[in-house]
């Protein structure tokens, strides 16, 4: 009786999995960045600051981070501040060559 899962097939599946993950990390994260920042209204007046840096009063700023924790999923975390207030959130996207629908996971207001 032949085994269906051989070492060669398992190695091929692992390679396909890792290549898909790298492709999604490279292309999916950049698509998520463009989508989130465009939908949030970020324009040339905003200054990008490193993620997790406290915002400074009165200057429009944003921070953004996109990560692919697993193939076919992109997690985007963003903070926008303008003046004394701001908002942010976490959105999980399905990615399969193009950016799929975003699922809001968490949102906050500063």
Number of domains in the chain: 1
Residues of the chain with pLDDT under 70: 1
What is the reported pLDDT for 15? 93
Q: How many CA atoms lie within 13 A of 40 on its CB side?
A: 29
* Beta carbons of 33 and 51 less than 8 angstroms apart: no
Residue 36 domain flag: yes
Residue 42 domain flag: yes
Residue 2 domain flag: no
The residue among 99, 77, 73, 90 whose CA lies nearest residue 20 is 73
What is the reported pLDDT for 1? 62
What is the reported pLDDT for 77? 92
Residue 1 domain flag: no
71 is in which domain, residue-wise? 7-109
Residue 81 domain flag: yes
- Global pTM exceeds 0.85: no
Residue 17 domain flag: yes
Residue 14 domain flag: yes
């Amino acid at each position: 009786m032949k085994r269906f899962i051989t070492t060669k097939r398992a190695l091929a599946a692992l390679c396909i999995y890792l290549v898909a993950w790298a492709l999604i990390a490279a292309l999916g994260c950049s698509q998520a960045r463009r989508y989130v920042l465009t939908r949030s209204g970020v324009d040339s007046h905003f200054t990008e600051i490193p993620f997790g840096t406290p915002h400074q009063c009165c200057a429009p700023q944003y921070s953004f981070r996109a990560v692919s924790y697993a193939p076919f999923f992109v997690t985007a975390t963003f903070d926008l501040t303008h003046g004394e207030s701001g908002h942010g959130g976490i959105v999980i996207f399905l990615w399969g060559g193009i950016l799929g629908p975003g699922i809001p996971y968490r949102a906050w207001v500063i």
